[in-house]
């Protein structure tokens, strides 16, 4: 148990930790957008903070489910990077940059190929630049899985994984219980809206695995992933998707320095997502904090102007031995 993070008395509740950052977002620094065309006809949008020179470190930010560069954690990380004079780029998952993607498929918790494509492009144009990465929630699972899949061939020099659902089935089950259902309903509403847009598109609509009527009946992540995510991305069903996309089994294969941070009171998680020592490679550092909620980690300040643990911790780890 790492004892560096201690929340203020008014932020001990995990739901305050999770929800308050959504309400009091910091202003987003100015970024510029770069579109990457993909071989399958789709695209990925990158939002850049700064213009790196070859050799300058670059931090890649990977957002969570239905997040973007406007997510509260991405905004704060961009602000912190700007203050540290560190170039940063937000890798948007397909369809998350404010414009629908072009294909029936979208993104999912185990999709490491799109991230690898972005990293290959960065290495092509900035071959001498160290690449750092920080992934949040779903993006953290993608990042952890990428590190374990690519091992010593990973293009990322140092990585931080935050509030990642490393065991997807356990997290889906947790979100069906108690107050956690509020988060499930909030996110599923966004996902269903995107699917309705695709179903209304003449060409894409014919490729969708469900109808609008069937979509309305999907009220849990497990049901949505079984009827939409799995068939759209080549899985035989939800069990196959969760088993093959969960990053926990990959942590023992990680070859590049990687920090994983969880809060034990995370309303999206259960103890099943928290790795045991024997499940970690020697290159993985693990922090399990008693408090923090989901991508919260409010460390002080006032409820209307909170201060956070994550940004200085992330930069400290990423810049260690590199700058």
Catalytic residues: 137, 266, 294
Say which residues have a Cβ less than 8 Å from residue 100's Cβ, sequence separation at least 6. 194, 197, 198, 201
The residue to which tokens 């850049």 are assigned = 48
The residue to which tokens 């001990």 are assigned = 12
Could you tell me if 24 and 306 are in contact, meaning their C-beta atoms sit under 8 angstroms apart?
yes
Name which of 296, 221, 303, 305 is nearest 265 in CA terms. 296
Encoded tokens for 221: 């992540």
Q: If you write DSSP's letter for every residue of 13-54 in order, what string do you get?
A: SHHHHHHHHHHSPPPPPP-EEEEEE-TTS-EEEEEEES-PPT
Task: Decide: residue 24, CB within 10 A, 0-12 exposed, 13-18 middle, 19+ buried.
Answer: middle
Could you tell me if 169 and 191 are in contact, meaning their C-beta atoms sit under 8 angstroms apart?
no
Say which residues have a Cβ less than 8 Å from residue 301's Cβ, sequence separation at least 6. 8, 307
Task: Decide: residue 298, CB within 10 A, 0-12 exposed, 13-18 middle, 19+ buried.
Answer: buried
Alpha helices (runs of H) in the chain, residue ranges in sequence order: 14-23, 72-83, 113-125, 138-150, 168-174, 180-200, 202-205, 212-216, 221-224, 230-232, 238-245, 310-319
Q: What count of residues does the chain have? A: 323
Query: Would you give the DSSP letter of residue 8?
Result: -
Burial 113-128 (b: 16+ CB within 10 A, else e): ebbbebbeebeeebee
């Amino acid at each position: 148990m790492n004892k560096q993070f201690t929340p203020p008395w008014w932020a001990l509740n995990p739901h305050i930790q999770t929800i308050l950052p959504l309400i009091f977002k910091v202003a987003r620094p100015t970024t510029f957008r770069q579109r990457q065309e993909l071989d399958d006809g789709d695209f990925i949008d990158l939002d850049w903070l700064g213009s790196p020179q070859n050799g300058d470190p670059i931090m890649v930010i990977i957002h969570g489910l239905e997040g973007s560069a406007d997510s509260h954690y991405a905004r704060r990380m961009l602000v912190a990077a700007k203050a540290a004079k560190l170039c940063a780029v937000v890798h948007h998952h397909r369809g998350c940059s404010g414009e629908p993607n072009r294909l029936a498929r979208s993104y999912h918790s185990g999709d490491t190929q799109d991230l690898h494509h972005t990293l290959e492009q960065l290495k092509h144009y900035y071959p001498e630049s160290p690449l750092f990465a920080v992934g949040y929630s779903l993006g953290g699972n993608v990042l952890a899985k990428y590190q374990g899949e690519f091992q010593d061939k990973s293009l990322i020099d140092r990585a931080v994984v935050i509030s990642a659902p490393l065991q997807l089935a356990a997290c889906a089950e947790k979100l069906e219980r108690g107050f956690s259902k509020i988060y499930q309903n909030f996110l599923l509403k966004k996902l269903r809206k995107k699917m309705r847009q695709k179903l209304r598109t003449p060409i894409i609509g014919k490729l969708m695995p469900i109808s609008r009527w069937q979509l309305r009946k999907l009220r849990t992540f497990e049901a949505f992933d079984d009827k939409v995510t799995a068939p759209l991305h080549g899985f035989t069903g939800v069990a196959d998707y969760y088993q093959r996309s969960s990053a926990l089994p990959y942590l023992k294969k990680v070859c590049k320095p990687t920090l994983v941070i969880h809060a034990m009171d995370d309303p999206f998680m259960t103890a099943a997502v928290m790795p045991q020592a024997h499940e970690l490679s020697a290159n993985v550092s693990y922090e399990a904090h008693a408090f923090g909620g989901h991508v919260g980690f409010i460390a002080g300040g006032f409820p209307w102007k909170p201060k956070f643990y994550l940004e200085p911790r992330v930069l400290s780890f990423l810049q260690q031995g590199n700058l």
